[in-house]
Structures are given as structure tokens and as C-alpha cells.
Amino acid sequence: MPVDHRRIRGPDESFSPRLFLPSGSAKCAAAEDRRSGDGARGNMDVRAIFARCGLVSQAKGSAYIEAGNTKVICSVYGPRETERRDETEMKRGKLLADVRLAPFSCRKRGQWIQGTEEKDLSQFLLESLRPGVLLQKYPRSQIEVCVMVLENDGAFLAHAVTCASLALADAGIEMYDVVMGCAARRSGDAVLLDPTFAEEHDEHPSPSGKESRLTLALMPAMNQVSGLQAEGEMDAESLVEAARACMEGCYKLYPVVQQTLLKSVRKKAPPPES
């Protein structure tokens, strides 16, 4: 394994204290029922989100989203001239996405070096956002979307999509529609919308043993799905059901996102002359 010479290094090997929990006690915290653990939230409810635009002073556009304890910040730079001219298509702009998880954002400490997982997340984010952006309006330029997950308490990728599209809108990039993200976890017959970390990683198998996770990105005004990924075990019907639930979830959050954008636009608008 290559050694990172550009960061201060700790011991060669260190272990999360969670690996040494006395057996038995480890998972009890995770297996709580949603209703008892999360106040009045039903299985099909999404967490209330707190969103705000324009927090990063240096960026063209930025947004911050908090859903429960999941915290995501995103900034957008550009459009600016593409760096690598050779491989770019001249007629359309290029969208770049970079998703990073802060090392302290998960239960287990992450590494700074971008792993394959983060690249995959970036890819999903990119493919979810791209249908929403009018890239043909930005020939020869590139737009960079940088996302940092500060705390992962479940469904961070879905919220990263929403956050990134808010930041794009804040940057004044032309878009067909905002892109909303929502995630669901299926365990047996139950669908849990917008799951928390504990719900996502519930180790107790359901009676039927089928578990799956799904993340969906939706453009609500156009009713188009721009991103979809699911893994685990599921039959087609339950997959469709979970996808529909996620779409519902997106529609529920849509007004909040609209309000957030309106608010940031109003703030930028010059005061009415009176």
C-alpha cells in the first residue's frame, strides 16, 4: 500500500473502538424501532430538512443541507474554461462532480485519500445532476460541483444530490429543474424512507431475509428520474414500490427546496425602490 507523504501520519494500524464492544451490546442500539427511536416519524416520513444557500463566500454558488443529523455542504465553481481541451466536446459544457466524506463523518474514521467508493458516489451524483443542467448553454466550459459530507446519519448521497442542485441553482447555472434525492431501505416487507445510519445498517435480518437499499434522484417538475441505484435483494414489485416511495419523498421535500431558493434569490435581489 502506498504511503501518503503529504499528510501527517499516525500509527501504521489503528482500530475503531467499536470493534471491541462487549458482544451482545453492540447492536442493541441499532435495532430500535423507528417510532420509538425517532419521535413521531412514520416509516414513510422523510426527515425535516434544513437547507440554506450561499454559505461559502468564495464559491459561485453553495448550499448546506441538514436532514436529521446528516449534514452535507456543497459549493459550485464555474462555468470556467475547460482545462483539458483535447477530450472535451466543444458544443456542450462539462459537469464535474466530486464527493468527499470528511474522515470524521462516519462511525469508522475514513481515509483522506479518495477511495473507489467516493469515486462511485461522485459518478452517481454526476449522472443524477447532468440531465437537469442546460449544458448546451455553456460550450467549452466546465462547472465543478464539490460536495463534502460532514456527518453521515444515513441517506447522505440522496441529500448530496439535493444539496448540489441547490448549489447549482444558487450559482445561477441554467437548469431545467432542480434535482431532488431520496433514499429508502427495505427490510422484508417494510419500507423505511430516508433511513438513518442505524436503520441503514441494521444487522438484524428480517424474517424474509431480503434487504435492499435504494437511492433515487428525481426532477419533480418534469417528473423524470435522473438517477437510480439499488442494491441488495428485492423482487421487482418491491423495487417499484420503493422507487415510488422515494418519489413521494422527493415531492414532499420539493416545497422546502423551492422556499430555500426563493429566500436566497430574494436576499440577492436589490432592495425595492420606494
Cβ contacts of 138 within 8 Å, gap of 6 or more: 79, 92, 93, 173
Closest CB 211 distance from another protein, rounded Å: 8
Q: How far out from the chain centre does Cα 120 lie?
A: 12
Closest CB 38 distance from another protein, rounded Å: 14
Closer of 56 and 169 to another protein (Cβ): 56
Closest CA to 186 of 164, 205, 169, 170: 205
Contact 157, 125 (CB under 8 A): yes
Closest CB 142 distance from another protein, rounded Å: 12
Closest CB 146 distance from another protein, rounded Å: 4
Closer of 135 and 192 to another protein (Cβ): 135
Contact 82, 88 (CB under 8 A): yes
Residue 165 identity: S
Name all contacts of 14-17 with Cβ < 8 Å and 24+ positions apart: 16/107, 16/108, 16/109
Closer of 14 and 274 to another protein (Cβ): 14
> What's the order of all strands across the beta sheet hosting 190-193?
190-193, 180-187, 211-219
Closer of 15 and 266 to another protein (Cβ): 15
Closest CB 19 distance from another protein, rounded Å: 6
Closer of 148 and 169 to another protein (Cβ): 148
Contact 212, 185 (CB under 8 A): yes
